[in-house]
Amino acid sequence: MFESEVDKVYLSTPTKIAILDHERKRTFVLQKDGLGDAVVWNPWDKKAKALPDFGDDEYKHVLCVETACVEKPITLKPGEEWKGRQEISAVPSSYCSGQLNTEKYFKAIRRSVPRHLSLQILY
């Protein structure tokens, strides 16, 4: 279980990130393009109360993983365009077997992720 607020930025992450839900035997795969970084967060109790889409105790069961451009922010001049893409899909947990490197990224957060979830990087 989470024990406090989590808000971490991970720079230069691969294009695929997987969240394994061991309890429900499923994997969420986040695939990104044009977004070099990832943010992992949970607002915990005080900040969650300020979010209208959170129930009173839902923060205890939330792991938010989203893509971002933190290391190399996108700045557009008038008339310029930029495209980024994030796709989230649910697949059977066996999808990730043998493709994971858990040490390179997200090592520091493992203690904060709910026990039935694992955050993994796909190569």
pLDDT digits 0-9 by tens, 100-118: 444 444 444 444 445 555 5
pLDDT score, position 2: 64
Tell me the three-class secondary structure of 41-107, residue by residue.
EECHHHHHHCCCCCCCCHHHHCCEEEEECCCCCCCCCCCCCCCCEEEEEEEEHHHHCCCECCCCCCH
Q: Which of 56, 35, 52, 53 is nearest to 44 (CA)?
A: 56
pLDDT score, position 122: 45
pLDDT score, position 76: 95
* Stronger pLDDT, 92 or 60, i.e. the higher one: 60
* Stronger pLDDT, 92 or 9, i.e. the higher one: 9
pLDDT score, position 79: 97
CB atoms under 10 Å from CB of 122, counted, come to: 17
Handedness of CA 44, 37, 101, 90 (dihedral sign): positive
Residue-wise pLDDT tens digits, 4-52: 899 999 999 999 988 888 787 888 889 999 999 999 998 998 888 888 8
Taking the whole predicted model, whether its pTM rises above 0.75 is answered as: no
- Whether residue 53 is predicted with pLDDT greater than 50 in this model: the reply is yes
pLDDT score, position 117: 53
Q: Which of 112, 89, 72 is nearest to 17 (CA)?
A: 89
Both tokens of 96, joined, read: 């990730």
φ, ψ at 41 (rounded to 5°): -150, 160
pLDDT score, position 68: 94
